[in-house]
């Protein structure tokens, strides 16, 4: 089998990072953070880089077959089941989110797609039907022509990278011709929306959603030559390039927005065509051809990303069935090699998600919560491997305790920044899965207590949920930073001691056996 080269691996990761996030990220981040949006992108990129270090160490450890195997070793088989189901759910939610991105952009030209009597974006009945139809097309392609997906994604990768850079240059051209407008926008101040707004923008403005795409290179680790060298370069190279691209777009967006649209502050920013903000702004500046081209990209790019994840979600559910976690019927494949029952379930989930949650921004906050929750367990895998000397890799992060703590801490902060309105859905999903696993084990007389799975994981979820809820009444930057710091440090110290104690007990057992 032909191996994926370093350059291709870099562009796979970069193509995933520059997805539908760039179409909305600058707008929503500006509304939440104002001029500090630039800092939001830098902080978000740096945080994800630290988390990526933990990911790289786990995925490049040959003792682990994959992330699910790492979860099975570190969190027990029950923990593996929990993480696998959470992973399936978030992969199943990306296609409807990308459909939402496509339809929301199209609403600028087709008013019947959205409800006209509400302030925030909400799909009309006709808009919902269109969304269901697009989701059905993804479903059909995945069922009957899955080989087409790879070719389709190759075609759109170049478009996904070139267009954002072109748009950024147009914004700077507008700024060059009207520098006084840029000065007026800057005069509003750097932290006009507060430090909390700058941080919340990382999780709810599309920043975390965008950078999560670095995982593509991680997932392809087994398919590249010299992964110990290629994976770190691809991951951190793609994150660095993406930070530069997103910063160019954000700076250009903030400084080119007509000052009169900011008369009520960044949080009240709105303008004609803001359902598709980048295209709407281009049209306002007179670049109609480019705005039309952007509308085309807003259909092709998110649709291609959603199609790729539609394939991934069906495979994840199929794998869960093969592992006998779900009924084996979901693993059945048709003559095209597609698990059609798994596709049907994922299609239904997509329809329900589109029906219940309105707007791209609300959708990505829930999605980010689910993804970041599974990401927060990766530093635990690192600790398990290091403490148990369960390592076979040339890629070892220096100061692994510090990096593991920072990765865990940053993930927990990003969970809190998802805000209670969205994150409560994430923890309800966690609670349902966690309780179901334990009830089934009790019913099958297969219950075995494990302190990390039965105490640490639910304590982690409850702690984050509690801080996120209390933040409604105590919206202080210092409250969330310090409280999450204490929680993260306490939980990791407990985990470290539990792993160390297990090793000590195992050693004593072995010594007794040898003595006898």
DSSP annotation string for 419-435: -HHHHHHHHHHHHHHHH
Report the distance separating Cα 66 and Cα 419, nearest Å.
31
Structure tokens at 288: 């109609």
Report the distance separating Cα 151 and Cα 217, nearest Å.
18
Q: Which residues have CB under 8 Å from 263's CB, separation 6+? A: none
Q: Give pLDDT tens digits for 210-256.
A: 888 787 777 676 667 777 788 888 888 888 988 998 999 999 999 99
Structure tokens at 379: 């530093």
Concatenate the DSSP letters of all residues of 188-256 into one string: T-SSTTHHHHHHHHHHHSSHHHHHGGGHHHHHTGGGBSSHHHHHHHHHHHHHHHHHHHHHHHHHHHHHH
Which has more pLDDT, 68 or 202? 202
In this structure, of 8-22, 74-88, 171-185, 282-296, the range with the lowest mean pLDDT score is 8-22
Contact 276, 108 (CB under 8 A): yes
Is a pLDDT exceeding 60 seen at residue 513? no
Report the distance separating Cα 510 and Cα 516, nearest Å.
10
pLDDT tier, 484 (very low <50, low <70, confident <90, very high otherwise): very high
Report the distance separating Cα 484 and Cα 400, nearest Å.
20
Report the distance separating Cα 460 and Cα 488, nearest Å.
8
Q: Quickly tell me which residue has 């939980």 as its tokens.
A: 491
Contact 28, 206 (CB under 8 A): yes
pLDDT on residue 391: 87
Is a pLDDT exceeding 50 seen at residue 147? no
Is a pLDDT exceeding 80 seen at residue 190? yes
| Three-class DSSP category at 377 | coil
Report the distance separating Cα 296 and Cα 440, nearest Å.
48
Report the distance separating Cα 331 and Cα 121, nearest Å.
37
Contact 41, 207 (CB under 8 A): yes
Is a pLDDT exceeding 70 seen at residue 516? no
| Three-class DSSP category at 123 | strand
Contact 16, 305 (CB under 8 A): yes
Q: Which residues have CB under 8 Å from 466's CB, separation 6+? A: none
Across the range 380-389, mean pLDDT stands at 92
Strand partners for 425 = none
Report the distance separating Cα 293 and Cα 285, nearest Å.
15
Is a pLDDT exceeding 60 seen at residue 103? yes
What is the pLDDT of the chain when averaged over all its residues?
84
| Burial class (CB within 10 angstroms; exposed 0-12, middle 13-18, buried 19+) of 195 | middle
Is a pLDDT exceeding 90 seen at residue 35? yes
User: pTM of the entire structure?
Assistant: 0.88
Report the distance separating Cα 489 and Cα 463, nearest Å.
12
Strand partners for 4 = 224
Q: Quickly tell me which residue has 């870099």 as its tokens.
A: 10
Residue of 78, 77, 71, 73 lying closest to 436 (CA atoms): 78
High-pLDDT (> 70) share of the chain, %: 87
Strand partners for 31 = none
pLDDT on residue 146: 47
Q: Which residues have CB under 8 Å from 44's CB, separation 6+? A: 202, 207, 208, 211
Report the distance separating Cα 356 and Cα 123, nearest Å.
11
Q: Give pLDDT tens digits for 443-456.
A: 888 888 889 999 99
* DSSP run (H or E) holding 104: helix 67-106
pLDDT on residue 451: 92
Across the range 315-343, mean pLDDT stands at 72
């Amino acid at each position: 089998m032909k191996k994926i080269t370093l350059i291709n691996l870099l562009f796979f990761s970069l193509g995933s990072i520059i997805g539908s996030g760039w179409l909305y990220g600058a707008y929503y981040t500006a509304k939440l953070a104002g001029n500090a949006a630039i800092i939001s992108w830098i902080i978000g990129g740096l945080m994800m880089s630290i988390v990526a270090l933990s990911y790289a160490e786990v995925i490049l450890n040959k003792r682990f077959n994959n992330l699910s195997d790492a979860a099975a070793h570190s969190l027990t088989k029950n923990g593996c089941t929990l993480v696998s189901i959470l992973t399936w759910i978030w992969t199943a939610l990306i296609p409807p989110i990308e459909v939402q991105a496509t339809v929301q952009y199209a609403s600028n030209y087709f008013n019947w797609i959205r409800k006209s009597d509400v302030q925030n974006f909400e799909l009309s009945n006709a808009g919902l039907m269109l969304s269901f139809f697009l989701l059905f097309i993804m479903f059909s392609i995945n069922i009957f022509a899955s080989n087409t997906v790879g070719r389709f994604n190759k075609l759109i990768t170049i478009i996904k990278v070139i267009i954002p850079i072109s748009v950024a240059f147009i914004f700077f051209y507008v700024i060059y011709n009207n520098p006084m407008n840029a000065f007026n926008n800057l005069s509003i101040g750097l932290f006009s929306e507060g430090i909390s707004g700058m941080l919340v923008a990382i999780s709810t403005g599309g920043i975390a959603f965008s950078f999560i795409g670095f995982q593509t290179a991680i997932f392809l680790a087994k398919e590249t030559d010299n992964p110990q060298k290629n994976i770190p370069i691809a991951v951190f190279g793609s994150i660095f390039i993406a930070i530069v691209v997103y910063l160019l777009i954000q700076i250009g967006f903030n400084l080119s927005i007509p000052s009169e649209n900011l008369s009520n502050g960044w949080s009240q920013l709105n303008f004609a065509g803001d359902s598709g903000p980048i295209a709407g702004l281009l049209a306002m500046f007179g670049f109609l051809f480019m705005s039309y081209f952007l509308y085309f990209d807003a259909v092709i790019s998110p649709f291609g990303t959603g199609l790729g994840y539609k394939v991934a979600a069906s495979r994840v559910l199929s794998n869960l069935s093969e592992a006998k976690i779900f009924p084996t019927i979901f693993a059945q494949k048709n003559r095209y090699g597609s698990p059609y029952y798994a596709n049907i379930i994922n299609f239904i989930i997509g329809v329900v998600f589109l029906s219940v949650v309105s707007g791209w921004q609300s959708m990505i906050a829930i999605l980010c919560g689910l993804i970041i929750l599974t990401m927060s367990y990766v530093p635990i895998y690192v600790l398990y491997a290091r403490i148990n000397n369960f390592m076979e890799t040339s890629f070892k992060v220096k100061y692994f305790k510090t990096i593991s703590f920072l990765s865990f801490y940053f993930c927990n902060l990003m969970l809190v920044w998802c805000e209670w309105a969205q994150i409560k859905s994430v923890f309800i999903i966690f609670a349902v899965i966690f309780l179901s696993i334990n009830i089934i084990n009790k019913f099958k007389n297969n219950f075995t207590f494990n302190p990390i799975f039965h105490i640490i994981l639910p304590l982690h979820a409850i702690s984050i949920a509690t801080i996120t809820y209390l933040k409604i009444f105590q919206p202080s930057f210092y409250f969330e930073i310090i409280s999450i710091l204490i929680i993260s440090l306490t939980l990791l110290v407990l985990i470290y001691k539990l792993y160390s104690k297990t090793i000590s007990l195992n050693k004593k057992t072995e010594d007794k056996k040898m003595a006898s």
